[in-house]
Amino acid sequence: MQQAVAAFLEHLKHHRRVSPHTLKAYAQDLGLLQAFAVAKAHPAAGDVKALNLMLLRAFVASRHGQDQATTQARRLSALKSFCRFCQRTGRMEDNPALQLAGPKKPKSIPKALSVDEAFAAVTAPSGEDVLRVRDRALLEMLYGSGLRVAELCALDVGDVDVGSRTVRVLGKGNKQRVVPVGEKCLVALQQWFPLRAPLARGTDALFLNHRGGRLTTRSVARHLARYGENVGVRGRLHPHRMRHSFATHLLEGGADLRSIQELLGHQSLSTTQRYTRVDLDHLMRVYDAAHPHARG
């Protein structure tokens, strides 16, 4: 099994080109499966062909109460993808994971910031300090372009086209998209560029840490939480909440879901529908303005 897992992870990395986060999560999931098989002295620990539905169900049951529904769903996805890979490559004759049923994911509504909260958070880094100038630029880009935090940290200087006011983003599944950059973000970037140059140490990364290396997602999350506390944002301010706010404020401003889907880089429109926060008052305003029989 160990060899099969290693081959599967190599396939994900080099052929499927999944994100480092997904690769790490799948490696952890399959590592837990291997450890479970060893602990049970199951033949599958030594021969992946012995992997069967009974062992998979026992493994899933052993995680009950330890994982949230979203983690359980991802773990099942890892098991199914692994078994499908093994069957396709001749390591297994059948796919026992096909009969595994997963938990229903809770459909929670994202808690977007109010417009005032978003403006306060974005303008929280003030002054001429190098890192505050950097933070102002990255906050403007998170809120103004709706990027995922991993997409933001992966940006290089050459990805920003000042002339066309766009940024080229490498999203999930190694798919590229081009999204607009707001005027305020461009101003903040032009203030950051001359301060960035002395920090850079042979890297093209757009956003750098104080040592001159590429800024990490964890650092961005830590900085945002601090700025959120400073300006009194209700609840914890994290990068994905800025993305929620970007989508919600676009929708409330009259943008259609299809356009928001393109900007966010969602493959499915249903994802965008769950992602955006549509309140009843907004729906009624749209209905009253658009439908000929809305008003008597």
- Indicate which residues carry an active-site annotation: 148, 172, 240, 243, 266, 275
Rg (CA), the chain: 23
Q: For residues 177-216, b (16+ Cβ closer than 10 Å) or e, as one string?
A: eebebeeebbebbeebeebbeebeeeeebbbbeeeeebbe
3-state secondary structure the chain: CHHHHHHHHHHHHHHHCCCHHHHHHHHHHHHHHHHHHHHCCCHHHCCHHHCCHHHHHHHHHHCCCCCCHHHHHHHHHHHHHHHHHHHHCCCCCCCHHHHCCCCCCCCCCCCCCCHHHHHHHHCCCCCCCHHHHHHHHHHHHHHHHCCCHHHHHCCEHHHEECCCCEEEEECHHHCEEEEECCHHHHHHHHHHHHHHHHHCCCCCECCECCCCCECCHHHHHHHHHHHHHHHCCCCCCCHHHHHHHHHHHHHHCCCCHHHHHHHHCCCCHHHHHHHCCCCHHHHHHHHHHHCCCCCC
